[in-house]
Structure 1
Amino acid sequence: MKRRKSRPVQLGGVTVGGDAPVSVQSMTNTDTRDAAATIAQIRRLVQAGCEIVRVAVPDREAARALSEIKKNITIPLVADIHFDYRLALAAIEAGVDGLRINPGNIGGRDKVAEVVKAAGRKKIPIRIGVNAGSLEKDLAGDGEITPEAMVESALRHIAILEDLNFFDIKISLKASDVPLMINAYRLLAGKVDYPLHVGVTEAGTVLRGSIKSAVGIGILLWEGIGDTIRVSLTGDPIQEVRAAYEILRALGLRRRGVEIISCPTCGRTQIDLINIACAVEDRLAGLDMPLRVAVMGCVVNGPGEARHADVGIAGGKGEGLIFRKGRVIRKVPEALLVEELVKEIDDLVNGRNRDEGF
């Protein structure tokens, strides 16, 4: 795939756009006013691989918490602002790395100019976030939202910032309708060279939302469109980060953590593969070294798939074979498969660390 060319934007220590890898971000669902809870959640997100985090800033108390949050995290912090330009100014003063605003809804031109001047002084990028559910009245028409209307909204907001000589911009065009979102991004991608934040908004619960996001985000990334992504899910934001990396991994764009290859089971399966695969996934969730682990239920496809994995198992009747780089290591009872597989992975990881001088 050929990546769309976009101008790079610096968000703290993370480059978005240009030749930088597609970055993964999420948003906290804690009360931002509770700095301790928000910091704790961000740290868990970082462990999962989150590279940019956004927090809601609904009022002055939330804005006051931003400096404490910023001091205690290691990834760029983006403040999500609506309606009140003073919250954007407070967030900038608190040291955030980025803003998410709609220039058209935070006040008149003079108010926008104040925000832009403050952001420019501290080199803080602004993401223009267009959402199909909150378009301007003249663009929403009779309620049927079109890709053209979403793009027109984005271009209006872009023009406001450009007229103020501000170009440190990222853009998102989110919708819960996947075809609408895809077509809007496609249309905008040919009109501007700003980096694009891609996602399906209000995608749903973990299963449904991950599927909708994989389709929408995946199609665009395959077409070279997208510089940073968020998988929006109703649930623990940790799942957003995991889903994002699975999308990127499936497209060959990023490889982080363990890739588990497991078969869907069938009548030949003679071990409790479903629970074994889930247990392996849980045990390896915190390992960020890129490894391919095969968990296969029988000898038909098992040895072949395990041969292409760093380590894996292939089940038999009440037992399984442990493979490593395609070589059978040993046969173990079903009850010990998970533990023995994890031990083999520990040995592999520790050996790789030694070999690479870690």
Structure 2
Amino acid sequence: MMERKQTRPVRVGNLVIGGGAPIVVQSMTNTDTRAVAATLGQIEALAAAGCELIRVAVPDQEAAAKLKEIVRYSKLPVVADIHFDYRLALAAIDAGVAKIRLNPGNIGGADRVRTVVRAAKANGVALRIGANAGSLHRDYLTRYKGDVIQAMLASVEDQLALVTADGFDQIVVSLKSSDVVETIEVNKAFAKRWDFPLHLGITEAGIRWRGTIKSAVGLGILLQQGIGDTIRVSLTGDPRHEVTAAYEILKALHLREHGPVVVACPTCGRCQIGLEELVEGVEELVQDLPYPLHLAVMGCVVNGPGEAARADLGIAGGKEAGLIFRNGEILRKEKQPRLLPAFAEELARLIREKYGVNLKFNQADFRLEELEEEEGGKS
């Protein structure tokens, strides 16, 4: 495993960002914060997906007034996203948020920034500050003759000078661009100069598949170099996909374990089974499971129990049928219509033996669910 850059710890609610703590996975709601029930419902769904820190937009005082209820019932520490009005930041701190995302450059001057910082310090609230390549003040670009990297660094260092003037140090820094290479270079440069923990992300990454690819490249390169303490994969659409993608990046680098890894071979002329359908079925089956299992779906016996022998459980396709195997040992042969249900049965058995948890296969929803307690114990 790569050696991570040592950064100072920043406490955010019950989490620690930096200081060698596990890399925190975060996301942001896309509900109207003023709609409390909808926002809390999305937070609950994100928490179930593995999200650890949630940011909500606070565009006005009406939204700020709803924060206290959201903070009270949220399953996750809440970050308030503040722009333009420092009074919104003060209201968010009063509501009990764990962290403020603040842009000191658009909050109305140094005095107002200091007011927010003092309130944050008095209430144990962390701050996230930073720079976005797409919204840099023109003065910085002019000063550095269009060099975006140097302009972003200068912007953040000026912010740090202002925010730390009174001894405040519970700060997470973010340097983001929609350009992957810019994001990599500016974060590497910052990490050489400072020990504040870094929030990594590719901003405005795009729709699910394109944004995931860009984020995996940019975040993966930085994380492999030991840079980064919390990540958000910014995707257009359902934010649960952000969490799934974040964990896949971390699992690929052996940085976090969360849920199964599903490997599948590419299709080729040897495949005589509906492999894509099989893989999608397995992904749907295991999407809510927290257990760090290695699962494999292979299209033929060439890539079957032999090449996937390290898999805890797998499928190897044949002619309109397939084998189910566990650690390279064949368990059973099934026709294609029975492969997924049989795989689910064997997966439930594996989880029971390995983790002591009893699950049942709900074919209507194609999910594995924990058996409910009954009068005589677990059914």
Same fold at TM > 0.5: yes
The residue that corresponds to 2:97 in the other structure is 96
1:239 is displaced (CA, Å) by 0.3
Structure 2 equivalent of residue 42 of structure 1: 43
Distance in 2 (CA, whole Å) between partners of 1:68 and 1:75 is 13
Deviation at 1:305, TM superposition (A): 3.5
TM-score by length of 2: 0.92
Aligned to 1:108: 109
* Deviation for aligned residue 1:199: 0.5
Query: 1: distance between equivalents of 2:98 and 2:54?
Result: 10
Give, as a single letter, the amino acid of the residue that structure 1 aligns with 2:318.
G
SS at match of 1:305: coil
- Residue of structure 2 equivalent to 1:174: 176
Letter in 1 for 2:6: K
Tell me: CA distance 1:143–1:336, structure 2 relative to 1, closer, same or farther (3 Å): farther
SS in 2 for 1:41: helix
Change (3 A) 1:302 1:143: farther
> Which amino acid in the other structure matches residue 30 of structure 1?
T
Q: Does the CA contact (< 8 Å) of 1:45 and 1:237 recur in 2?
A: yes
Match of 2:363? none
Structure 1's consecutive aligned runs of 4 or more residues displaced over 2 angstroms after TM superposition are: 140-145, 353-356
- Which letter does structure 2 place at the counterpart of 1:34? A
Q: TM-score scaled to structure 1, two decimals? A: 0.97
Which of 188, 191, 213 does residue 190 from structure 2 map onto? Answer: 188
Give percent identity, aligned residues only: 54
**Which range moves more in the overlay, 296-305 or 209-218?**
296-305
Residues 1:272 and 2:274 aligned together: yes
Q: Quote how far apart the aligned CAs of 1:63 are.
A: 0.5
- Looking at structure 2, the residues matched to 145 and 122 of structure 1 have their Cα atoms a distance apart, in angstroms, of 38
Shift of 1:104: 2.3
Given that residues 258 and 289 in structure 1 are in contact (C-alpha distance below 8 angstroms), is that contact kept between their aligned partners in structure 2? yes
In the alignment, which residue of structure 2 is the partner of 1:287?
A: 289
Q: Deviations over 1:133-167 (max 9, x none)?
A: 11122113399452111111100000001112211
Counterparts of 1:245 and 1:27 in 2: how far apart (Å)?
Answer: 16
Q: CA deviation at 1:114?
A: 1.3
Secondary structure of 1:307's counterpart equals coil
For the residues of structure 1 that align with 2:268 and 2:313, how far apart are their CA atoms? Answer: 22
Please tell me whether residue 317 in structure 1 is matched to residue 330 in structure 2. Answer: no
Segments of structure 2 that go 5 or more residues without pairing to the other structure are 359-369, 371-379
- Aligned partners of 1:40 and 1:153: how far apart in 2? 37
Unaligned 5+ runs, structure 1: none
| 1:121 alignment partner in structure 2 | 122
Query: Deviation at 1:304?
Result: 2.0
How big is each residue's C-alpha offset from its partner over 1:287-334, in whole Å with a ceiling of 9 and x where there is no partner? 111111110010111112331111011011111111012211111111
**Structural mapping, 1:1-358, within 5 Å:** 1-141=2-142, 144-354=146-356
Check conservation: 2:43, 2:75, Cα contact below 8 A.
Answer: no
